[in-house]
Each structure stands twice: as C-alpha cells, then as structure tokens.
C-alpha cells in the first residue's frame, strides 16, 4: 500500500470481513454473481472530464406529519423519507431502510455530496424503530451520525451483509445480524433474508468489496417486503422470485444512472427498475434513490420522467410502480 494512502485507509476504511470462502467471497473480497468489472481510475477521470450534469435545485418543504406509532392487521404503510431511507410499518413492526438524516454523505460533516432535499420526517417524530435493513456501507446508505442517534434513542436490531457488524458496533448498535446471500435470521415471527444485488462496497481508499452488499427480504405474514438497496440489473431479480416468491412490496432504486457506460453495471436506470419489478412479480413497487443527493449526471427530476416513460413502454401502471410523496405515508395494497 503506498505510504500516502495508508493514513486515509486507517481513517476511513471499514473493517474487513474475515471468513470462509463462498461462491461470492474469495477469502479477501466479495464479488457479484454476474461479472462486474469495476471502473478504474482512467474511467473515473474520463467521466469527470466529460460530465453533462442535469439540473438540481435546493428545495426546503415542510416535513411530513408524525407517522402512527404502529399499524395493525394487513396494513402496510410506507413513508418515503428521502434517497434510500423509507419507514415501513406492517402489523406492529416498524422498519427503517438505509437511514440517513445527515446533511452530507461522506467521511465527515463537511465532506461528500450535500442534500438538495431535507429528510421528509423529523427524526424526533419517528415511531419506535424495531429494526433497520442496511444494504451496504456506502456513505449515502450508512450514515454514522444517524446510526449513533438510532442506537441511543431506539436501540434497533440491524440486518445487513457480512462484515458490516464491526463498524455498526462502533456506532453503538448492540444487535447485528450479518448475513451472506440467501442466509436468513429471525425477527419475531418473521424472517429476514439477505439476497444478491449487483453492486460493490467501500468507505475508504483500500477497502473496496471487503464487506458484503445485499438486498433484504422480510417474509412478513402480511406479505413479503423486498428492499433492494443499490443494484445494477441482472438475473438476481428472477432468482429472488423463484426462491422467495413475488413480494407484496418492493423498494427499488431509480436514480444515479447516467452516464450509462459508467453506471450501468451497478445502478439500474428507471427502465431496468420497471423490468426488475416485472421480474420480481411484485404486487407494488415503490421508487427510491432519487431526488436527494446529486450522485451521478441525471438531474433531480429526470428519474421521475424516465420512470413515467418506462411504465408506459412496459405496460405497468402508476398504481403498480408508485412514486410516493415525500413524508406522506401511503397504505399499499
């Protein structure tokens, strides 16, 4: 490791997973089931030199109203907080996905992309949070200040991929279930299963793919929930349906997809998200991962326009692939 890199590695790298070799872990790094070549430094420079960024504008709407403390029966209530953060309430169970309330997403309060839209719920208005579904350790999905605050105020159990527990325990999370793909852990009367997604991990200069990325599937009696996190398109969506059945609700990313030559392997575009919805056999999908952080070249509103076009082209109606109002809970069928 070059000497100038080592100090940054110590500061920012996530602790690496150590465990036996599997079909997606070579003993040192994890890998996707479908061949996914990481973009090198040259590709990054090419992207940065020729960027054609869509427009982003800061918006400051009032936060949504406090959600109910619990829902009961067959109700599934989803509130879009922003980016990949959603509150899911199902029959007495409150879940948060990839919770981020930070003003920036990076290694420190002043580094990393800034928010263009504030969280759509006040943190203090959250109902009791029983569990967190954490897809991977990128800064826009794993926010240290938010996790510390959740640990202090809610004490949730966290379900995540292999290797993320060490970092979470540093942040005060006491109970962490680290899962390999297709491994499950109990949660009350339900089970949470980590499922393959096509992405990567890393927080520092030298820790790429040393911890596992995943989607999380909750086999709730009121209907299955799939949280995809970040992913490129691939055969894993059909495999999830084959193994676990079509989910009642799928939370699918639609943003951070341009330019396609750079982003395609690890980020679906809206058309691929609609195809994933169809592959999964989801009853209802909910769009996420858009309109909060300018992470790629697509503009703030572009994912929504492309999603509308993709739904029309693929014969999927708005009620089947939903765009939720920020901060306004919606009861899904």
Least confident of 107-111, 219-223, 242-246, 274-278: 107-111
Q: Is the pLDDT of residue 2 over 80?
A: no
What is the dihedral sign for C-alpha 9, 14, 17, 18? positive
C-alpha span between 208 and 180 (Å, rounded): 17
* Average of per-residue pLDDT values in the chain: 94
- Over residues 134-192, the pLDDT tens digits come to 999 999 999 999 999 999 999 999 999 999 999 999 999 999 999 999 999 999 889 99
Q: What is the pTM of this model?
A: 0.95
CA distance 276 to 296: 21
Tokens of 132: 């967190």
pLDDT digits (tens, 9 = 90+) for 20-32: 999 999 999 999 9
Read off the pLDDT of residues 280-313 as tens digits, 9 standing for 90 and up: 999 999 999 999 999 999 999 999 999 999 999 9
The residues spanned by each domain of the chain are 57-323
C-alpha pair distances (Å), 72 with each of 81, 94, 234, 324? 21, 11, 35, 21
Is 80 in contact with 324 (CB distance < 8 Å)?
Answer: yes
Q: How confident is the model at residue 222 (pLDDT cuts 50, 70, 90)?
A: confident
CB 133, CB 96: distance < 8 Å? yes
Distance CA 55, CA 273 (A): 22
CATH topology of domain 57-323: Metallo-beta-lactamase; Chain A (3.60.15)
87: which strand partners? 79, 96
Question: Does residue 72 carry a pLDDT above 60?
Answer: yes
Whether the predicted pLDDT of 255 surpasses 50: yes
What string of DSSP letters covers 219-281?
--TT--EEE--S-B-STHHHHHHHHH---SEEEEE--S--SHHHHTTTS--HHHHHHHHHHHT
ω before 259 within 30° of 0 (cis)?
Answer: yes
What are the C-alpha distances in Å from 319 to residues 45, 252, 291, 323?
41, 15, 20, 9
Bin 11: left if φ > 0, else alpha if -120 < ψ < 50, else beta: alpha
């Amino acid at each position: 490791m070059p000497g100038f890199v080592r100090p940054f590695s110590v500061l920012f790298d996530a602790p690496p997973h150590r465990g036996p070799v599997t079909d997606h872990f070579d003993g040192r790094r994890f890998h996707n089931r479908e061949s996914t070549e990481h973009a090198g430094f040259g590709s990054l420079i090419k992207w940065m030199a020729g960027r054609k960024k869509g427009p982003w504008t800061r918006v400051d709407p009032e936060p949504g109203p406090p959600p109910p403390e619990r829902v009961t029966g067959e109700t599934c209530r989803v509130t879009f907080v922003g980016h990949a953060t959603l509150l899911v309430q199902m029959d007495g169970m409150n879940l948060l996905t990839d919770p981020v309330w930070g003003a920036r997403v990076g290694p420190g309060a002043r580094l990393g992309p800034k928010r263009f839209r504030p969280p759509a719920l006040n943190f203090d208005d959250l109902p009791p949070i029983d569990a967190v579904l954490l897809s991977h350790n990128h800064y826009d999905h794993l926010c240290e200040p938010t996790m510390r605050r959740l640990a202090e105020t809610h004490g949730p159990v966290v379900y995540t991929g292999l290797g993320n527990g060490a970092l979470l325990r540093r942040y005060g999370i006491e109970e962490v279930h680290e899962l390999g793909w297709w491994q499950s852990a109990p949660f009350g009367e339900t089970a949470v299963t980590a499922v393959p997604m096509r992405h990567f991990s890393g927080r520092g200069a030298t820790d790429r793919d040393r911890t596992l990325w995943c989607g999380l599937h909750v086999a709730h009696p009121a209907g299955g929930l799939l949280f995809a996190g970040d992913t490129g398109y691939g055969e894993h969506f059909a495999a999830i349906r084959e193994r676990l059945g079509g989910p009642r609700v799928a939370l699918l990313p639609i943003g951070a997809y341009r330019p396609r030559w750079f982003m395609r392997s690890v980020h679906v575009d809206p058309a691929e998200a609609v195809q994933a919805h169809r592959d999964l056999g989801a009853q209802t999908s909910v769009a996420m991962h858009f309109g909060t952080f300018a992470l790629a070249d697509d503009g703030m509103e572009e994912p929504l326009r492309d999603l509308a076009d993709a739904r029309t082209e693929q014969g999927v109606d708005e009620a089947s692939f939903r765009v939720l109002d920020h901060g306004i809970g919606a009861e899904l069928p």
